[in-house]
Chains A and B, each alone.
Chain A
Amino acid sequence: SQKIEQNSEALNIQEGKTATLTCNYTNYSPAYLQWYRQDPGRGPVFLLLIRENEKEKRKERLKVTFDTTLKQSLFHITASQPADSATYLCAPFLTGTASKLTFGTGTRLQVTL
Chain B
Amino acid sequence: SQTIHQWPATLVQPVGSPLSLECTVEGTSNPNLYWYRQAAGRGLQLLFYSVGIGQISSEVPQNLSASRPQDRQFILSSKKLLLSDSGFYLCAWTFGRGQETQYFGPGTRLLVL
Contacts and interface: CB of A to CB of B under 8 A. Distances in A.
B43 A44 contact: no
Nearest to B45: A103
Nearest to B105: A43
B85 to A, nearest CB: 18
B101 A34 contact: yes
A98 B85 CA distance: 26
What secondary structure prevails in chain B residues at the interface with A?
strand
B106 A42 contact: yes
Task: Give the size range of B's interface with the partner.
Answer: 20 to 34
Interface string A74-113: 0000000000000001010100001111111110000000
Given A99-B96, A100-B49, A102-B46, A41 B107 contact: yes
A46 to B, nearest CB: 5
Interface in B36-63: 42-44, 46, 49, 51, 57, 59
Interface of A: 32, 34, 36, 41-46, 49, 89, 91, 93, 98-106
